[in-house]
Amino acid sequence: MLTEGMRAPEFTLSDKDGNSVSLSDFAGKRVVVYFYPKDSTPGCTRQACAFAAAYEDFRTLDVPVIGISRDSVASHVRFAEKNNLPFLLLSDPERQATEGFGVWQEKKNYGKVTMGVVRSTFVVGPDGIIEKVFPKAKPDTNAAEILAYLRG
């Protein structure tokens, strides 16, 4: 997993509307990039809804929020509409950003070892350098932790 002080890898992924979005589109401003395992699962829904509830606070700080998972664009459309998610959701089926940020890792679940996305959040600075990492982010508190960090 990437750490603070490292350059965030460039990516270009499709949003829920099929538009291409690149990390470089946000050059010159801070951006929150969070990775989550799967649309419409309990933890991922709680995390997304927490970001949605805090969305105006992020807008006031002029910090865009981007959620990334391996789900399809169609899945993101349903997830965003069902939960009224106002921020960007990007589809990463080829794991371009997921592997670039190092969040595709071995996971253990009930003794079974699989590969998957480790829920993690990165604050990328205006210069493209990662300024803060929230590894193994907690769905219910992640958005509030990031806001606290951004407010200093």
Q: Which residues belong to the active site? A: 44
C-alpha–C-alpha distance, residues 45 and 34, integer Å: 13
Q: Which two tokens stand for residue 79?
A: 């997830």
Full DSSP string of 71-82: --HHHHHHHHHH
**What's the first-to-final CA gap in the chain, in angstroms?**
24
Q: Which two tokens stand for residue 76?
A: 């993101």
Q: Which two tokens stand for residue 132?
A: 């803060």
C-alpha–C-alpha distance, residues 116 and 54, integer Å: 27
